[in-house]
């Protein structure tokens, strides 16, 4: 959908730009010359209303030309500076909530062609710990948002029982601790898990779970039944690069272990190819990410999520019930 909108916006900007250019440099000067000719021929004794009518552009020309400056500014900002995105699912709770509207820094990983997403001017690369928007490697029209976990050359091991990751960073030639192709594992500084302020609610016939704070859960009077199952969620801190953030796990929920299998590697172990990245959601048991669809090419990145500019209280596929003003601000 984002790609279609970019094409429509670019086309509209181009078409209105043509009308603006023709109006400014061809049609308007021609009308002005016509006005001067009529004034000269009548020795200045012609009604001003007639001259105004001669010098007036056609309504549709004026409308098309007037749209161009606005469309150009929107096109430039959206294509090269910042683009708004809405968070539709709970895969990044509690960093990002369903209903958050975020600003994505488009130039963080290179100035890109807004239609093909090809890098025109390199400006940087994704860093470990970044929260980034990217296009699904198998479904290019789908935009996802996850956290950068693995860089090119990293070995990623997901410990299924502990629900933790182990990262062996790509071996650098100057690193004397390197053995084989990987160095010593990073210290991710995991804190002890504790009960969080969140409840996961799975309802029969719904494709996605809902997530409620303890207060919301109590206010709604939700109880377990044949159609509703509630799970306690646990929170702990994880450090990736220089960024410490919260991750959520749901130990009692059924886990999807249909992991992406990489040739030559055991299950739940991956070595990130050059030019690719390994992405994961902060809501670890409720995120479809690189554990399931594999690596993300750098060319698929859209930008870095930097701020929340609006946040609505809502659940998946439901209308907003309020505004969370306290969430407006930076993303960590």
- Is residue 146 flagged as an active site residue? yes
pLDDT per residue, tens digit, the chain (332 aa), is 457 888 888 899 999 999 999 988 988 888 888 877 777 777 766 766 666 776 677 778 788 888 999 999 999 999 999 999 999 899 999 999 999 999 999 999 999 988 888 899 999 999 999 999 999 999 988 999 999 999 999 999 999 999 999 999 987 544 545 554 557 899 999 999 999 999 999 998 888 899 999 999 999 898 888 899 999 999 999 998 888 999 999 999 888 889 999 999 999 999 999 999 999 999 999 999 999 999 999 999 999 999 999 999 988 778 888 999 999 999 97
| d(C-alpha 116, C-alpha 286), whole Å | 30
CATH numbers and ranges of domains, the chain? 2-81 (no CATH), 87-330 (2.10.109.10)
The alpha helices in the chain, defined as continuous H runs, are: 2-22, 28-41, 48-55, 59-76, 214-220, 290-293
Contact 106, 122 (CB under 8 A): no
Contact 178, 171 (CB under 8 A): yes
- Is residue 206 flagged as an active site residue? no
Phi and psi dihedrals of 150, rounded to 5? -115, 135
Q: Which residue of the set 89, 91, 287, 290 is catalytic?
A: 91
Q: Which residue of the set 106, 135, 146, 163 is catalytic?
A: 146
Contact 281, 149 (CB under 8 A): no
Contact 279, 298 (CB under 8 A): no
269 Cβ partners below 8 Å, 6+ apart?
155, 156, 157, 158, 262
Burial of 174 (0-12, 13-18, 19+ CB in 10 A): exposed
Taking only Cα atoms into account, the Rg of the chain, rounded to an integer number of angstroms, comes to 27
């Amino acid at each position: 959908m984002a790609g279609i909108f970019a094409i429509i916006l670019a086309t509209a900007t181009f078409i209105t730009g043509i009308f603006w250019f023709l109006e400014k440099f061809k049609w308007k000067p021609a009308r002005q010359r016509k006005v001067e000719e009529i004034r000269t021929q009548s020795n200045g004794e012609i009604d001003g209303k007639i001259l105004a009518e001669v010098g007036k552009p056609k309504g549709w020309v004026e409308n098309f030309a007037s749209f161009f400056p606005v469309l150009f500014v929107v096109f430039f900002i959206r294509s090269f500076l910042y683009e708004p995105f809405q968070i539709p699912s709970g895969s990044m709770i509690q960093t990002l909530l369903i209903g958050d509207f975020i600003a994505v820094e488009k130039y963080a990983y290179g100035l890109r062609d807004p239609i093909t997403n090809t890098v025109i001017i390199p400006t940087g690369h994704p860093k470990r710990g970044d929260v980034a928007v990217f296009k699904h490697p198998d479904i290019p029209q789908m935009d996802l948002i996850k956290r950068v976990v693995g860089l090119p050359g990293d070995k990623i091991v997901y410990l299924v029982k502990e629900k933790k990751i182990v990262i062996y960073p790509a071996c650098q030639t100057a690193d004397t601790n390197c053995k084989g192709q990987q160095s010593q594992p990073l210290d991710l500084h995991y804190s002890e898990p504790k009960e969080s302020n969140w409840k996961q609610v799975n309802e029969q016939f719904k494709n996605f779970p809902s997530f409620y704070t303890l207060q919301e859960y109590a206010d709604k009077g939700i109880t377990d039944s044949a159609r509703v199952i509630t799970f306690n969620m646990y929170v702990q801190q994880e450090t990736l690069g220089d960024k410490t953030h919260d991750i959520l796990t749901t130990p009692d929920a059924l886990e999807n272990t249909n992991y992406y299998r990489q040739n030559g590697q055991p299950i739940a172990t991956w070595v990130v190819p050059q030019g690719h990245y390994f992405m994961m959601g902060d809501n670890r048991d409720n995120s479809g990410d690189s554990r399931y669809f594999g690596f993300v090419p750098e060319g698929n990145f859209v930008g870095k999520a930097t701020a929340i500019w609006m946040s609505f209280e809502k659940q998946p596929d439901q209308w907003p019930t309020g505004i969370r003003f306290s969430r407006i601000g930076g993303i960590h």
